[in-house]
């Protein structure tokens, strides 16, 4: 897997050294929308989250604030860094969504699953046997022991900007 698994320290170093580049491209078939691609490819690791929604195209993983406050602080930092990176490209009236959704006692991330047939696959591991298994949509409340996720890009529509996260590996 090519890419950099980031921590707050590695992200800070990449930013300070000017290594993080952003490319803005128009989305296909849409005059008012753009994608912001990041180089080098950055990845995030997540541990012990609970699936609260699973669909054929994405999953939503939830964390309790009290037990995962360090992760929440890290995601706030990542969101802040990327907001500063794309802000020069956008008008001030556009809302830039965070990489996470925060509620009173919990926060969650939404991760896209790679499209089947695109030649892009991801690894799924049985947490008990540590052997690779074929993917099936996890049931609600399943604990994801480990998730490796790409920050694929940021998307911009006429009114808002958000993150596209894509699963590279799941262990449950």
Dump pLDDT digits (tens) for 91-103. Answer: 777 888 999 999 9
Summarize pLDDT for 57-112 with one digit per residue, the tens. Answer: 899 999 999 999 999 999 999 999 988 888 888 777 788 899 999 999 999 999 99
Please tell me whether residue 159 adopts helix, strand or coil conformation. coil
Grade residue 122 by pLDDT with cuts at 50, 70 and 90.
confident
The pTM of the full predicted model, rounded to 2 decimals, is: 0.86
Structure tokens at 41: 């490819």
* Tokens standing for residue 101: 């959704």
Structure tokens, 165: 């996260």
Q: What is the DSSP letter of 68?
A: -
118: buried, middle or exposed (CB in 10 Å: 19+, 13-18, 0-12)?
Answer: exposed
Domain ranges in the chain are 4-171
């Amino acid at each position: 897997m090519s890419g950099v698994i980031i921590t707050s320290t590695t992200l800070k170093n990449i930013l300070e050294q000017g290594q993080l580049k952003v490319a803005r491209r128009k989305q296909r078939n849409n005059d008012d929308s753009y994608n912001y691609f990041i180089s080098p490819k950055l990845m995030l690791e997540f541990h012990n989250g609970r699936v609260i929604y699973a669909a054929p195209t994405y999953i939503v993983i939830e964390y309790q604030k009290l037990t995962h406050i360090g992760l929440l602080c890290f995601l706030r930092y990542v969101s802040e860094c990327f907001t500063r990176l794309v802000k020069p490209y956008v008008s001030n009236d556009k809302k830039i969504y965070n990489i996470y959704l925060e509620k009173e006692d919990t926060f969650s991330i939404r991760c896209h699953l790679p499209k089947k047939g695109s030649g892009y696959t991801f690894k799924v591991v049985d947490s008990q046997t540590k052997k690779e298994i074929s993917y099936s949509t996890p049931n609600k409340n399943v604990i994801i022991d480990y998730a490796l996720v790409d920050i694929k890009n940021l998307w911009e529509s006429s009114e808002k900007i958000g993150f596209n996260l894509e699963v590279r590996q799941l262990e449950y």
